[in-house]
Amino acid sequence: LPIFRVKESSVRRRYSDFEWLKKELDRDSKIVVPPLPGKAFKKQLPSFMRSDDGIFEDDFIEERRKGLEQFINKVAGHPLAQNEKCLHIFLQDADIDKNYVPGKVRTT
């Protein structure tokens, strides 16, 4: 997308980073932010209380990855969200500075 400073970027993000982005967008933007895929409460139970590999189960990991990919594609494709600093930080910076000053990105 033309508004971003680099054409391609690759960053690693945890589920909690997606939660941070959603919280920031909910607070500072004028868009309806899509929901994240659900938390894995049952998958985090001790192994003796469940019959699978929990959060390390391949099917669970793939379903969550797909859900997070849908979330970020919807957000990054929204014209108003594209101007939010938090989205630029999330997509382009190796580390998320959670003490950043919220605001808009200038496109000049």
90, two tokens? 């999330």
Task: Look at residue 36 in the predicted model and tell me its pLDDT.
Answer: 94
Task: Look at residue 28 in the predicted model and tell me its pLDDT.
Answer: 80
The pLDDT profile of the chain, 108 residues, written as one tens digit per residue, is: 556 666 777 889 999 999 999 999 999 888 899 999 877 645 544 555 545 555 667 787 888 899 999 999 999 999 889 999 999 999 999 999 988 888 888 765
The pTM (predicted TM-score) of the whole model is 0.76
Rounded CA gap, 13 and 100, in Å? 17
CB 32 within 8 A of CB 75: no
